């Protein structure tokens, strides 16, 4: 007769299972975006936030952050001690953030033209009026950086002193796997937008995860099992999972434009992109430029980010590469210890 030996779970194993149950079932989600702020302007779904400095304001040039059209912008203010916005306000900067909000079906016709021509200029006017400043620093992240570069190129007469871009794609000659997946011969862009209106966040998120399917799908859960007894790790894991799963739809016409005119036709770097009837010439950018790429970024590859520095007219023209990924350029240990201070120092040095 065959017998099978069963092992009784160890006390350590039972303790880990109990802790995992607490993490996934019992504990509330951590609170994000805790730096004090106020809404100073709204338009449609968009809100302009002002973050009051934690110390006396010492920098005369306010910072306006332009976020992307996907996910939510609290990644820039994730948690106390792990927040780019908090770091800047603690250093006395006057920080503003343009949050595009959550588009509804009625916003499916919104284009990049609308955001860049109708929203950003009004936000800048409000920032200058509110801060009583004569110049401004634009800080764009991901697609928000691409939009900031376009806006600055279209408006060389505006008092944009500094332009700071974080992992923002400019050249789409080689966008890695996205170049293959979005090939106009196979990707039915028009049918997708015409059918859905806005593009669901889940569809965009699935595409991003396919860039590294094992590490992004299973890796986070393997890591939490291994380190569930580390309270600090658990907190940061829950914060990131909250943000990663808290996305917003991409307005349909803006998505159509993003895929066709950027990924498929690469109009921006080639000087062929037209916004509201005006051609975008990146050589019109004269502001002090800090352009940051991440070596392990598979969403905005370094070779998509770096070409901007070769075409602008900025006298102060800096390209900075960091050994990190697309998201960890703004949150995480390396961001806290190295990248946040580097950004703050650069802004301060170029604001006097």
Would you name the residues annotated as active-site residues? 142, 297, 326
The DSSP code for 61 is S
Q: What is the DSSP string of 199-245?
A: BPHHHHHHHHHHTSHHHHHTHHHHHHHHTTT-HHHHHHHHHHHHHHT
Per-residue CA distances from 147 to 13, 97, 254, 333 (Å):
50, 14, 12, 28
Compute the distance between CA of residue 169 and CA of residue 308 in angstroms, rounded to an integer. Answer: 9
Residues 170, 268 contacting (CB under 8 angstroms) = yes
User: What is the distance between the alpha carbons of residues 237 and 222, in angstroms, rounded to a whole number?
Assistant: 11
Q: Is residue 267 a contact partner of residue 261, using CB atoms and an 8 Å limit?
A: yes
Q: What DSSP designation does 92 have? A: T
Q: Is 292 helix (H, G, I), strand (E, B) or coil?
A: strand
Q: Tell me which DSSP letter residue 185 carries.
A: T
Q: 149: helix, coil or strand?
A: helix
Q: What is the DSSP letter of 103?
A: -
| Residues 95/63, Cβ–Cβ less than 8 Å | yes
Answer for the pair 347, 164: CB distance below 8 angstroms, yes or no. yes
User: Do residues 88 and 123 lie in contact, with contact meaning Cβ atoms separated by under 8 Å?
Assistant: no
Residues in the chain, overall count:
352
Structure tokens at 99: 């949050």
Count Cβ neighbours within 10 Å for each residue of 74-84 and write b for 16 or more, e otherwise. bbbbbbeebbb
Handedness of CA 303, 152, 261, 68 (dihedral sign): positive
């Amino acid at each position: 007769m065959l017998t099978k030996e069963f092992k009784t779970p160890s006390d350590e194993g039972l303790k880990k299972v109990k802790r995992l149950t607490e993490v996934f079932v019992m504990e509330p989600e951590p609170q994000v975006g805790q730096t004090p702020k106020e809404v100073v302007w709204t338009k449609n779904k968009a809100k302009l936030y002002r973050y009051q400095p934690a110390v006396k304001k010492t920098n005369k040039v306010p910072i306006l952050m332009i976020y992307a059209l996907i996910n939510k912008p609290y990644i820039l203010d994730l948690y106390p001690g792990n927040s780019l916005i908090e770091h800047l306000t603690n250093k006395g900067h006057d920080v503003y953030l343009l949050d595009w909000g959550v588009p509804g079906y009625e916003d499916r016709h919104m284009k990049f033209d609308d955001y860049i021509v109708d929203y950003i200029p009004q936000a800048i006017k409000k920032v200058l009026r509110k801060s009583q400043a004569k110049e401004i620093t634009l800080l764009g992240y991901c697609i928000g950086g691409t939009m900031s570069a376009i806006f600055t190129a279209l408006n060389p007469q505006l008092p944009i002193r500094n332009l700071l871009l974080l992992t923002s794609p400019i050249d789409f000659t080689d966008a890695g796997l996205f170049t293959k997946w979005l090939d106009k011969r196979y990707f039915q862009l028009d049918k997708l937008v015409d059918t859905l209106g806005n593009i669901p966040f889940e569809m965009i998120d699935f595409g991003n995860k396919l860039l590294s399917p094992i590490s992004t799908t299973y890796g986070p859960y393997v890591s939490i099992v291994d380190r569930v007894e580390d309270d600090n790790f658990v907190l940061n894991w829950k914060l990131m999972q909250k943000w990663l799963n808290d996305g917003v739809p991409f307005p349909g016409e803006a998505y159509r434009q993003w895929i066709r005119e950027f990924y498929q036709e690469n109009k921006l770097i080639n000087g062929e992109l037209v916004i509201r009837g005006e051609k975008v010439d990146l050589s019109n950018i004269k502001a002090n430029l800090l352009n940051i790429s991440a070596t392990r970024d598979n969403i905005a590859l370094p070779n998509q980010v770096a070409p901007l520095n070769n075409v602008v007219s900025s006298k102060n023209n800096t390209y900075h590469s960091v050994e990190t990924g697309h998201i960890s350029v703004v949150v995480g240990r390396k961001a806290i210890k190295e990248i946040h201070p580097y950004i703050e120092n650069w802004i301060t040095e170029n604001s006097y």
